């Protein structure tokens, strides 16, 4: 929406009202109180004036539902008009949503791209319509002039941290199976790469297999069940790209008759509340934090973008690593 156009109109209305009230003063005395006080107008767009289209991936994990809640709650708190679209894990739904935001002439589009590839043309359409795009959480593989900034985690570093913890847990030796996230997604690609960067210096740690559980509990359980059928007690550890898949894997390991967290060590990523509970229960050995509470930072950036303020091309989140030792103490304060 072109807010710049509203400013002269507003000033004109105020002027008209002032002259009308001046006219009224000469006709009747005493002087009435002026009904409108002109507000200082620095021409900046405010949260209340901003319309934001947001294309979310879906609801595949507790991380994602925490992320959605943060975006929606922050919009309400700030008074931003938010048009939210759930892509149900499908890129074509996300592309359709972005096209409808363009048709509605929103001020800014936020998008968390389910996979990295295939966004060039729809982002170009947004650019041609003069609507800035902010990538939230996941990256898209597009030329940098097609988006304004990326707000999200360093997924490679998360993979490295998972590997560092794994090396410690295994004492530098053992067989690992990996449950990867959605094929072609930025976090799955980077968490795979970061993990290997560290593991390659530990030749006695073998990655037996790597299979996608699509970031869901159900698929994590299913794939882990298959891996147990294939490798059985040879498996010393699981590296899961998110906690939901780890929780699925825990079920499969128990169904197979082994003890998750003891017979098979497990390290995963996100740090959702259920992961803290699994650590308290002794079934998960560590979780690497990935922060989904991006609502406040996202709308702050959106406001800066519509007001043409300079912003960096990438805003990484700050994240920690959590272990069973203090899981019970930390769980009450966890918000997702
Ligand atoms: O780790 C996973 C979710 O893109 C960082 O997506 C996000 C990942 C998160 O489904 O749980």
Q: Tell me the pLDDT tens digit for each residue of 236-270.
A: 999 999 999 999 999 999 999 999 999 999 999 99
For residue 241, give the ligand 1 atom closest to its CA.
1
Q: What is the Cα Rg of the chain in Å?
A: 25
The answer to whether the CB of 107 is under 6 A from ligand 1 is no
Query: Is residue 110 in some structural domain?
Result: yes
Is 290 touching ligand 1 by the criterion CB < 6 Å? yes
Angle between helices 217-231 and 243-256 (to 10 degrees): 40
**Which atom of ligand 1 is nearest the CA belonging to 60?**
10
Q: Give the contacts of 328 (CB within 8 A, at least 6 positions apart).
A: 276, 280
Ligand 1, atom nearest to 215 Cα = 10
Q: Is the CB of 217 under 6 A from ligand 1?
A: no
Are 213 and 284 contained in the same domain? yes
Whether residues 146 and 184 share a domain: the answer is no
Q: How many domains does the chain have?
A: 2
In a domain, residue 3? The reply is no
pLDDT at 319: 87
Within-domain flag for 145: yes
Q: Quick one: pLDDT at residue 41?
A: 61
Compute the distance from residue 12 Cα to the ligand 1 centre, in Å: 49
Distance CA 214, CA 240 (A): 11
83 with 107, same domain: the answer is yes
Distance of CA 284 to the CA centre of its chain: 23
Ligand 1 pocket, mutate which of 60, 61, 291 (most atoms under 8 A from CB): 61
- Residues 218 and 266 grouped into a single domain: yes
pLDDT over 90 at 118, yes or no: yes
Same domain? For 162 and 284 the reply is yes
Is 138 touching ligand 1 by the criterion CB < 6 Å? Answer: yes
pLDDT of residue 35: 52
Clarify whether residues 213 and 170 are in a common domain.
yes
Does residue 333 lie within any of the structural domains? Answer: no
Check whether residue 80 and residue 121 sit in a common domain.
yes
CATH number, residue 59? 3.40.50.2300
Q: Give the separation between CA 146 and CA 149, rounded to whole angstroms.
A: 9
Query: Within this chain, do residues 191 and 303 fall inside the same structural domain, yes or no?
Result: no
Distance 114 CA to ligand 1 centre (A): 10
Q: Is 286 helix (H, G, I), strand (E, B) or coil?
A: strand
| φ, ψ for residue 260, nearest 5 deg | -65, 140
Please indicate, yes or no, if residue 80 is contained in any of the structural domains: yes
Which domain, by its residues, includes 166? 155-290
Q: What is the pLDDT of residue 8?
A: 35
Question: Looking up tokens 């994990």, which residue turns up?
Answer: 61
Task: Tell me the CA–centroid distance for residue 128 and ligand 1, in Å.
Answer: 30
Let me know whether 77 and 182 are in one domain. no
My answer on whether 159 and 281 are in the same domain is yes
22 part of a folded domain: no
Nearby residues of 21 by Cβ (< 8 Å), 6 or more positions away: 32, 34, 35
Q: What is the DSSP code string of 144-200?
A: GGG-SEEEE--HHHHHHHHHHHHHHHHTT-EEEEEEE-STT-HHHHHHHHHHHHHHT
């Amino acid at each position: 929406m072109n807010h710049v156009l509203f400013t002269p109109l507003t000033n004109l209305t105020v002027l008209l009202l002032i002259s009308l009230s001046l006219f009224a003063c000469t006709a009747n005395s005493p002087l009435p109180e002026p009904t409108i006080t002109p507000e200082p107008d620095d021409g900046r767009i405010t949260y209340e004036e901003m319309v934001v289209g947001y294309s979310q991936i879906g609801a595949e994990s507790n991380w994602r539902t925490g992320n959605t809640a943060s975006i929606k709650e922050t919009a309400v708190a700030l008074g931003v008009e938010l048009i939210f679209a759930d892509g149900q894990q499908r890129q074509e739904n996300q592309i359709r949503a972005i096209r409808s935001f363009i048709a509605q002439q929103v001020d800014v589009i936020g998008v968390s791209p389910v996979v990295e590839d295939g966004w060039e043309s729809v982002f170009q359409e947004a650019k041609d319509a003069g609507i800035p795009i902010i990538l939230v959480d996941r990256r898209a593989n597009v030329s940098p002039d097609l988006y304004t900034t990326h707000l999200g985690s360093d997924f490679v570093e998360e993979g490295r941290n998972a590997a560092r913890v794994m090396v410690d847990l295994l004492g530098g030796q053992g067989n690992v199976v990996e449950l990867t996230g959605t094929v072609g997604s930025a976090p799955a690609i980077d968490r795979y790469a970061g993990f290997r960067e560290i593991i390659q210096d530990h030749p006695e740690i073998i990655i037996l297999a790597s299979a996608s559980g699509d970031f869901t509990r159900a698929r994590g359980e299913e794939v882990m069940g298959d891996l147990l059928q294939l490798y059985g007690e040879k498996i010393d550890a699981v590296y899961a790209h998110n906690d939901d898949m780890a929780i699925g894997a825990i079920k499969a390991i128990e169904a197979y008759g082994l003890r998750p967290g003891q017979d098979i060590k497990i390290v995963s990523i996100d740090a959702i509340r259920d992961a803290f509970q699994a650590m308290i229960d002794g079934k998960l050995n560590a979780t690497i934090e990935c922060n989904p509470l991006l609502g406040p930072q996202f709308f702050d950036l959106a406001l800066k973008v519509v007001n043409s303020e300079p912003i960096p091309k990438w805003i990484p989140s700050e994240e920690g690593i959590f272990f069973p030792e203090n899981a019970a103490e930390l769980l009450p304060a966890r918000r997702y």
